Structures are given as C-alpha cells and as structure tokens.
C-alpha cells in the first residue's frame, strides 16, 4: 500500500495492520505502508506517532521502532503507562497512523562493534529488539550480551524469539527478575545461553557473566534503573560517559 503524504509536517500516514498483545500490559502495533525515509531507518530509531481517533488526530507520542530495519512494516511495542498507551490494545486494524521520523541516533554504530553489552529495563528492551532482529536478519557475528531486568517472569515478552536468537547468534541472555526468589525454575532445555537471575542488576551479576569493560555498552530503561546500572558499571571500570543511553522520558 502506498503511503499518503499530508500537506505539512513531513508526517507519513500508515495504517494499522495488526494489534498483538505481548504480555499483560505490553502490546505491539504493526503498521503497513511505504516511505523511503522509513525504509532507510537504522535499528534503535524511533518515530513520533499520532493515531486517528473519532475526534481527530491524537496528540503525538514517541515510540521506538521495534522490528528490524529490514522489515517492510513498522512495529511499535508499547507498555500501558497512561491514557494513550493504555488505549493501544483497542485500536482497530485499518486505523490511520501519522508517523514522523525516523529519529534518533541510539545504537547508530552498533554494527561496527565486535563486542556489545545491551542493558534493558522493562519496555526499554524495544531498541534492542530492533538491534537483535537486525543482527538475526543479517547473520551478524558480533559478540552480544543482553541483560534484561523485569520485576517478574510475567513481565517478560518475546521470550521464545529472543531465546531462539541466542542459538542463532553469538548471544548470551541474562534475565534479571527483581521480584522472583527462584528464577532458575524458568530455565528451559535447548537454550544454554539463556539464564535467569533474581534481584536487581548489579556489579556482581555483570562480572559473573564476564562482562568485558572494553565492550560497547548500550542502556535503556526507567531513569532510576539507568542511574543504578551506571553506578554498578563504574565499579567495574566502565566509564559511564561511554555508555550509550536512550531515555524514554523527556523531562
Ligand atoms: C525516544 C523515546 C522512545 C520511546 N519508546 C517507547 C517504546 O518503544 N515503548 C514504550 O512503551 N514507550 C516508549 N516511550 C515512552 C512513551 O512515549 C510514553 O510512555 C508515552 O508517550 C506515554 O503516553 P501516555 O499518554 O500513555 O501516558 P501519560 O499519561 O502521558 O504518562 C504516562 C507516564 O509517563 C509520565 N510522563 C508523562 N509525561 C512525561 C514526560 N514529559 N516526561 C517523562 N515522563 C512523563 C507520567 O508521569 C506517567 O507516569 C518512548 C519515549 C521516548 C522519548
């Protein structure tokens, strides 16, 4: 389907093709359309979207494009936080969505980094979903460690897909479940590179999995979690200034 270009603003109109619940409060919205700028996007970039409502276009909201840049659609993976994000699950297929972008430079040079450490808190995984899907699409050989913090196992999503990629890529996945006492019960046969830890992500966990302080570090999550992780990384000799970060808040 060819995208319609509005008169102003550089926004391109796409249409919802599918709404997919990922877990109890995270939903993926898939858009179909075509646009040269979005076709040239990079993993980790975001778009500012407006959804057509009966009363007109919604206010703009920024979301990371969570699919691979190789995909011929757009995917946004959205956690219910307030009125707009909580309404995403009820959006009907066919609904027009204006997209402004792609924006951002997070993970821009990641293809060229031989050893990368990705650290996500909750829905802060979305830029890394794009990166991993991109690495998978191109058969990348970079050494990748993913540390993903969630409160409970029920908060984790895309588990099958990420676990599968841990066998296809040079990828180790450490799930940190801060409120689970017995995280090891989630271990599954066939995925030796996927492990579960309890408690918050600290220097002990990072060093136990052999994090290389010389690797390229990327961090995305709630601001308090990001501050705490930077502190922990600094005790391992990682310069916090060298950690690339994406903030999902704009305060
Ligand atoms: C670059 C970028 C990429 C993002 N990518 C994703 C993504 O992939 N998935 C995803 O789920 N979310 C993402 N977000 C966050 C998302 O844009 C917001 O959660 C969403 O716009 C909130 O809209 P709402 O109306 O549902 O909630 P609101 O009612 O507007 O707010 C929800 C929560 O956010 C807080 N909040 C409101 N305004 C601000 C503000 N200006 N700054 C900080 N906090 C505020 C509120 O206090 C409340 O706790 C991203 C944000 C940015 C900046």
Domain map (residue ranges) of the chain: 12-103, 110-246
- CATH top-level class of 12-103: mainly beta
Report the relative pairing of strands 171-177 and 194-198 from DSSP bridges: parallel
- CA of residue 62 to ligand 1 center, whole Å: 7
**Of ligand 1's atoms, which has the minimum distance to the CA of residue 86?**
26
Pocket lining: 106 vs ligand 1, CB cutoff 6 Å: no
- Which residues on adjacent β-strands are paired with residue 49? 61, 99
**Residue 60 CA to ligand 1 centre (angstroms):** 11
Task: Please give the Cα distance from 99 to 120 (Å, whole number).
Answer: 25
Burial 181-206 (b: 16+ CB within 10 A, else e): eebeeeeeeebebbbbbeebbbbebb
Domains 12-103 and 110-246 equal at CATH topology level: no
Between the CA of 248 and the centroid of ligand 1 the distance, in Å, is: 6
Q: Could you confirm whether domain 110-246 is CATH 3.40.50.80?
A: yes
pLDDT in tens, the chain (251 residues): 444 444 445 677 999 999 999 999 999 999 999 999 999 999 999 999 999 999 999 999 999 999 999 999 999 999 999 999 999 999 999 999 999 999 999 999 999 999 999 999 999 999 999 999 999 999 999 999 999 999 999 999 999 999 999 999 999 999 999 999 999 999 999 999 999 999 999 999 999 999 999 999 999 999 999 999 999 999 999 999 999 999 997 65
Structure tokens at 229: 């992780």
First to last CA, the chain: 37
d(CA 55, CA 59): 11
**Candidate of 25, 85, 131, 251 to mutate for ligand 1, largest count of ligand atoms within 8 Å of Cβ:** 85
> Does the CB atom of residue 79 touch ligand 1 within 6 A?
yes
Closest ligand 1 atom to 81 CA: 32
Are 177 and 205 a contacting pair, CB within 8 Å? no
Say what the pTM is.
0.94
Question: Which residue has the least CA distance to atom 46 on ligand 1?
Answer: 82
Beta strands in the chain (DSSP E): 12-21, 26-32, 46-53, 56-57, 61-64, 74-79, 96-103, 115-121, 143-150, 171-177, 194-198, 216-220, 244-246
């Amino acid at each position: 389907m060819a995208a319609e270009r509005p008169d102003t603003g550089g926004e391109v109109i796409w249409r919802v093709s599918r709404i997919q619940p990922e877990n109890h409060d995270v939903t993926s919205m898939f858009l179909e359309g075509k646009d040269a700028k979005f076709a040239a996007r990079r993993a980790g970039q975001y778009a500012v979207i407006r959804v057509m409502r009966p009363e007109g276009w919604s206010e703009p909201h920024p979301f990371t494009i969570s699919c691979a840049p190789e995909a011929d659609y757009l995917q946004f993976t959205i956690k219910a936080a307030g009125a707009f994000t909580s309404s995403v699950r009820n959006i009907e297929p066919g609904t027009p969505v204006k997209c402004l972008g792609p924006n951002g430079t997070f993970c821009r040079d990641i293809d060229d980094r031989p050893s990368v450490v990705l650290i996500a808190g909750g829905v802060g995984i979305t830029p890394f979903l794009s990166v991993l899907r991109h690495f998978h699409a191109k058969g990348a050989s970079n050494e990748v460690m993913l540390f993903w913090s969630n409160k409970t196992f029920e908060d984790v999503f895309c588990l099958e897909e990420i676990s599968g990629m841990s066998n296809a890529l040079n990828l180790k996945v450490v799930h940190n479940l801060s409120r689970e006492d017995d995280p090891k019960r989630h271990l599954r046969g066939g995925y030796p590179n996927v492990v579960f830890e309890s408690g918050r992500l600290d220097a002990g966990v990072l060093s136990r999995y052999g994090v290389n302080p010389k690797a390229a570090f990327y961090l995305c999550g709630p601001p308090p979690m990001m501050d705490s992780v930077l502190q922990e990384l600094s005790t391992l000799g990682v310069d916090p200034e060298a950690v690339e970060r994406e903030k999902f808040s704009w305060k």
